[in-house]
Structure 1
Amino acid sequence: MDACLRCLIAIYLAVKCCKSEITYCKESVDSVTDVTSCPKFKEEWEIAAREKNCSKIATEQNCVVAEKFKYHCVINGHRNALLEVCAPERLILGHCTEFNVIGGVIQDHRTAPCYNRSFPKCDRFYYSTEAYKYPDCYNLVKRTSTPRKTPTDSNYIWLLIAAVVAITVVVTIILIYVGHLVYLKMKGLDTNVQKRAKYTYNSKQRGSGEVAFIRTSASSVTNDQRQSSASIGSADSHPDKGASDLQNMTSFF
């Protein structure tokens, strides 16, 4: 009997507390982000809460006292997304916890009772900030669309693209420069080869002229020698004729 009475009192207080806090909270709606998974352990939950930094928003909102404005990771009302949101903490009664974006509140997911069931499982009542204890509720989500990208993901992608473009430009410039150097070097080699070929050709031409001149000179000398030899030979072969000519000249005088 005492146990039932305590349970009824707890339920009454929970209902009273929940009714007083079911109000639209713009700051909560503005803080919503889609995620691919939610923490399933207390340590993971605390890390995610620090990253979300709901305490910064808590001091600026008027939905609830700052101490109750906390980090949540729960399903949405359509069971097609997991949401991280900063919202007022609530006591949940035997259902999975959802964040209703249109209503701007954390509340029981009425179509997902989980107390005393095989699936999903949860306690009779628990605080919405303890949703990580009941991962069956996360498994209710059936994704129909790709989660929207956070600004961090978008910035990372743009930084990656910029880095790739910069590297491509630098590599292209280096390749052009190296290609230009190779071209100049090859052009210089071709010029040297042409000069050497021309020099060799001219040398051959000069050499041929000198050889021809030498041959002509030698031929002339040979002919002169032949003519001289012929004259001497002719005088030796007619000695009487020479004496006769000498006598004729003496008689004349």
Structure 2
Amino acid sequence: MKKIFKFLTIALMALLASGCGDNSAKNLSTVMTDLKVGIATNYKPFDYKIDSKLTGFDVDLVEEIAKKNGIKITWVETNFDGLIPALKAGKIDMIASAMSATDERRQNVDFTQPYFKSKNLYIKLKTNDKINTKEDLEGKKIGVQLGTLQENTARKIKDTEIQSNKDLNIAILALKNNKIDAIVIDQDAGKGFLAENPELVNFYQEDDDSEGFSFAFDKDKHKEVLAKFNKGIQELKADGAYDKLIEKYDLK
């Protein structure tokens, strides 16, 4: 009787272990094939909308990699400064929003290899002849997008008053109305604003002190899917699809 009981106990434990293994596999499968991707849709040409349709370099790049790997993407829109908090809270699984890989951010997230390298661009009114160098911004009012690398850069300039906005269009409007003296912005996003606002001009540019734009995942999670995106970036560069996207969004 004791032997039968012992056998039944072992069999039950094995069954439970098998069941847990199946659930874990299912959970892993769900994570690997369905991703909620956070994006801030006010950063043309990387992340924006046309007639309510999400588009941009980041969007196309993620969708291409996902298609090759059988991954379903669900886009989750939020403000740029809310992306990492949303990732840490489990509201999203991945960030794809022109986010620069920095040591500070790396404390909380894992980055893929960089997929695009950019610069900081400094913009002013053409009629403002008092500002011609970065040093001329000391003691001035500078507009930036909240939570960006450019915000940190602007804060390092001596005695500046920083106006951080969730939407760069607000900063552009403030600059045109002489509410601020300059804007620090990503170079490629800045080109679009300059084309749309002929009264503005760039007067300085510099490296942004980051490795470049990267996709981000929560720390020590989704290692396998992160590896898939690293591989995907390399594959798209090798087969020419990456260059086509660069040309499509005028990022040369």
Report the TM-score range of the alignment, normalised by the length of the smaller protein.
Answer: under 0.3
Normalised TM-score (structure 1): 0.22
More helix by share: 1
